[in-house]
Amino acid sequence: MSMRICPHCGRAITGFEHRNNEVLRLRERGATFPQLSKKFGVSIERIRQIYVKKARRAERERVRPYQDIPLEERSLDYLRLPVRARNVLTNHGCSYGLDCKTVGDVIKQVSTPEGQWDLFREPNCGSKTVADIVLAVNREIDDGVAIPLHPRLEQLRRRVRALAAGLREEMRR
């Protein structure tokens, strides 16, 4: 196997590593699995496996820079929020005073039922958006203490689930 020098980090890499990095790069630029399979002479399934492994590793590398920063000081990017939830928290086109820049700001906002309820004053913020924010924060808290949803939001979620179950039942008939 031939050895090459990685242009980004300067370390020696094998041909397989180079191929795997190339698979990830080309796939992210829009190449399909069959195209890559032909180019590298391996099966479509093998290309898919390589891509999944390299994509996971790239995701871990993306999160790694936050390891030395306390949770409360990490940027909003760390939570991987949906666009609508992120826009609500960062005060895009709104005048209600929300301007969350860190995870700590978000925790302060959603840690009380009143804070969650205040989010509804924001344009385009509904129960799903608030639930997305609370669930994203709960996913990152390591001490095992989860932030509960506002009681009205919990009631609304139960009502929506009951309606959905009723509709599914009607469709079965």
| Predicted confidence (pLDDT) per residue in 67-116, tens digit | 677 878 888 878 888 888 888 887 654 555 567 888 888 888 888 888 88
Does residue 1 surpass a pLDDT of 50?
A: no
Residues near 122 by beta carbon (within 8 Å), at least 6 away in sequence = 88, 94, 96, 98
Can you give the pLDDT at residue 94?
54
| Predicted confidence (pLDDT) per residue in 23-70, tens digit | 888 888 888 899 999 988 899 999 999 999 888 887 776 655 666 778
Can you give the pLDDT at residue 38?
92
Can you give the pLDDT at residue 63?
57
Q: Where are the domains of the chain?
A: 3-66, 71-172
Does residue 133 surpass a pLDDT of 60?
A: yes
Integer Cα distance of 153 and 155 in angstroms: 5
The answer regarding whether domain 3-66 maps to CATH 1.10.10 reads yes
| Predicted confidence (pLDDT) per residue in 109-119, tens digit | 888 888 888 88
C-alpha gyration radius of the chain = 22
DSSP, collapsed to helix, strand or coil, labels residue 75 as: strand
Can you give the pLDDT at residue 46?
92
The pTM score is 0.51
